[in-house]
Structure 1
Amino acid sequence: MARFGDALTTGADLVNAAERAVLSALDQVGAVPDLVCFFISGADPDEVALAGRHIMEFAPGAVTLGCSCTGVIGDGRGVEDRGAVSVWCARLPGVDLTPFRLDTVLDEDHLAVVGMSEPGPRDKAAILLSNPYEFPTPAFVRESTPALGGLPLVGGLADGAHGEGSVRLFQDGEVVDSGAVGVIIGGEGVLGTVVSQGCRPIGPAMTVTKAEGNLLLELAGESAYAKLESLLESLPEEEQELAAQGLHIGIAMDEYSEQHEQGDFLVRMIVGADPEPGTLTVGDMVEVGQTVRFQVRDAGSADEDLTRRLTDFGTRNDVGGGLLFSCNGRGGSLFPRPDHDVLAVRRILGAGSVAGFFAAGEIGPVGGVNHLHGFTACLLAFAD
């Protein structure tokens, strides 16, 4: 029978906080764990590294995986922008664990990623934690679905209090400041993933009639900028304010669907708009013929989307524990409290042990394809 434990501690002394957290989580498992994941938020990268080493010393024989971050999740709480440690332990009978560490090497005129293990027939998912400042995470995730035979990836981009140079990754007793670390997980104990993008569509669905790379030139035969301008003018004042805070665009996952509503899109940021050529710059590649729909995000729509997806997942699965990767733009920046996402997971799925961190980008599958997201909550769930 699977067993799970999680703990979150705070304090200026990160090493002491790490010891308290790992001992509490281990005590809840009551047996030698198979997998220990941990996440550390702290001002001093060297102290973060010491705290991570200390946690791994308490789990000999277990696969250990962790990273630095700017906020942690655990014990039904979320703590942002101060010293904190979250530890999650799991005893997973019948589950296979294959750790890997990724790095890049120069291969003629391009960088190649090395170190990924080939998934086996029992493998169900892989956790991936990466340093976003020097590892090509977007390209790796984009190519991962065909390269790994459809294996779902879930995880996040690590960070540190001082950005570049302060990221630390942990795996099986080692501390590294580059590349990516992870573990492939196989067996019946892995239930699957939940990805909540938390946006709601505004305006009609439209066909892309002209595009170049991530430049959206025409929608339904008209200037993309003009289409957006016309839509914004027609919106109620409340939705205009939401759009001004950050507008997104959804790319339909099923072109053959008769309707494209909330949850039917891969959501991407609109990162630029140029009225002279009439173009919009999207945070991903767009192609002629795709169906798109503009999107806005607020706490209400994010809560509704997460609740709906968790409820649907919970009707089909008996969840015992999970790892949660929430955007650092959610938490207290979006909701009244930073523990919104973890409390929703625990309440709706009945999972007692859920831990993770606030990521600088989240990794999770949408429509059977792995993607790097922003503003999402991505969950990897394990059976009770």
Structure 2
Amino acid sequence: MHHPESLFAYGHASDPDWRVALAAALDMAGSQAQSGTLGFLYVSDLFEAELPELLAQLNQQLDVKHWTGCVGIGICATGQEYLDTPALALMVTDIPESELSIFSGMTPYLSDQPLQVSGAAPYFAVVHGDTATPDLPDLVRDLAGKTQSGFITGGLSSTRGTGGQLADKAVHGGLSGVLFSEKVAIATRLSQGCSPIGPLHEIGEAKSNIIGTLDKRPALDVLYEEIGEILARDLQKAAGFIFVALPVANDDRGDYTVRNLIGVDTDRKLMAIGEYVESGQSLMFCKRDGTTAREDLLRMLTDLKKLVAGRSIRGGLYFSCLGRGEGLFGPDSAELRLIEAHLGHFPLIGFFANGEISHDKIYGYTGVLTLFLGD
């Protein structure tokens, strides 16, 4: 038996043939990956059709009791991003089987089932979701509410296919993942990829996702004022890096969820956003920009470094947004290299998601880092 506090075994590789990629990743993971209790696996959506076969191959070669994970258009690993290229990353852990529980197929109809790990409510969960699932934000909130910490992390599969997930077998739809007891030591933080460009506004007239007035003025006038004349003249261009941010209620960290600006009506001065809103809610405009995203990632890493001071990091999971990575941080895996530069070299895998899950919400344009700690 290896020393219980050693690093988790992990491997990653890219190849058009999943068999070649898997062999290379297992080779990198070494003999320590031969047996374990829980494996995480993130697979390029280009291998989505082969997911059942891939899992069967893993089960044949390794003695790992449980698997969780999903597909993504991009895959993350320590200091390495595989964007839009056929790749996979896996990590094998020895977290005691009694302290974890795999679940899948959680839909709005099943959300009243009680969840348990070793006879108690779970403390924390890592989850994967399907964007096509109805009421997904409610489902995420429900699940987080069933944990003792009120906290879950994860991501929504990103795919040009149907968005496969893994929960001991290939599954589709709803939420799946793994529940942990309080004996599993983790640290997690979220980094925003956007920064506010103006003050908070109060939404006045609003219907579903269409906003008529902000601070008792036509919504479009307020938007134009904040983003400036140049962008206002070319709203198509603005849509790429101007977003709306909805502050998270009762949050002392000044957290907010970012949503797309999806349309404007210049005659009636209305704007439509990618989220249902109500009159009385607050909103601010924000911009996506590499400099602020980098600053916020460094802030998060500094935070985590303090949080884990004196403890070892056995492995980690990173869920970043498809809108981040190279597009925001620059080439050569800059985003993942920043993590490695600040927290050191440790096994890290994950994927570029179509929405990131942290605490009890689905975010966009964020990076969510979860670390498994040793003594």
Shorter-chain TM-score tier: 0.7 to 0.9
Which residue is equivalent to 1:333? 327
Counterpart code for 1:340:
A
| Counterparts in 2 of 1:242 and 1:348: CA distance versus 1, 3 Å | farther
Alpha-carbon separation, structure 1, partners of 2:299 and 2:337: 14
Counterpart code for 1:14:
W
Q: Is 1:7 equivalent to 2:11 in the alignment?
A: yes
C-alpha displacement of 1:84: 1.0
| Counterparts in 2 of 1:135 and 1:76: CA distance versus 1, 3 Å | farther
Alpha-carbon separation, structure 2, partners of 1:351 and 1:151: 29
- 2:161 alignment partner, one of 152, 160, 163: 163
Q: Where do 5+ consecutive residues of structure 1 fail to align?
A: 105-110
Alpha-carbon separation, structure 1, partners of 2:134 and 2:62: 28
| Counterparts in 2 of 1:349 and 1:122: CA distance versus 1, 3 Å | farther
Aligned residues: 364
Secondary structure at the aligned position of 1:209 is classed as coil
| Counterparts in 2 of 1:148 and 1:232: CA distance versus 1, 3 Å | same
Q: Is 1:49 equivalent to 2:71 in the alignment?
A: no
Counterpart code for 2:227:
L
Counterpart code for 2:52:
A
Counterpart code for 1:163:
G
- 1:192 alignment partner, one of 177, 180, 187: 187
Counterpart code for 1:374:
G
Which residue is equivalent to 1:265? 256
| Counterparts in 2 of 1:273 and 1:126: CA distance versus 1, 3 Å | same
Secondary structure at the aligned position of 1:123 is classed as coil
C-alpha displacement of 1:198: 1.4
Q: Is 1:252 equivalent to 2:243 in the alignment?
A: no
Q: Where do 5+ consecutive residues of structure 2 fail to align?
A: none
Counterpart code for 1:275:
T
The answer (yes or no) to whether the contact 1:103–1:115 under 8 Å persists in 2 is no
| Counterparts in 2 of 1:171 and 1:97: CA distance versus 1, 3 Å | same
- 2:21 alignment partner, one of 17, 22, 25: 17
1:1-384 matches, cutoff 5 A: 1-2=4-5, 3-27=7-31, 29=32, 32-41=35-44, 43-92=46-95, 96-104=99-107, 112-113=109-110, 118-119=115-116, 121=120, 123-134=122-133, 136-146=135-145, 148=147, 151-160=150-159, 162-164=160-162, 167-172=163-168, 174-233=169-228, 243-253=238-248, 264-317=255-308, 318=311, 319-337=313-331, 339-350=333-344, 352-365=346-359, 370-384=360-374
TM-score by length of 1: 0.83
RMSD across aligned positions (CA): 3.1
Alpha-carbon separation, structure 2, partners of 1:273 and 1:236: 13
| Counterparts in 2 of 1:294 and 1:183: CA distance versus 1, 3 Å | same
| Counterparts in 2 of 1:150 and 1:124: CA distance versus 1, 3 Å | closer
| Counterparts in 2 of 1:23 and 1:152: CA distance versus 1, 3 Å | farther
Higher mean alpha-carbon deviation, 113-122 vs 301-310, is at 113-122
Percentage of identical aligned residues: 26
Alpha-carbon separation, structure 1, partners of 2:101 and 2:149: 17
CA deviation string 1:73-106 (max 9, x = no partner): 11321111222111112223597111101254xx
CA deviation string 1:282-334 (max 9, x = no partner): 22233333332210011111111111112112212243321111112212222
Counterpart code for 1:215:
I
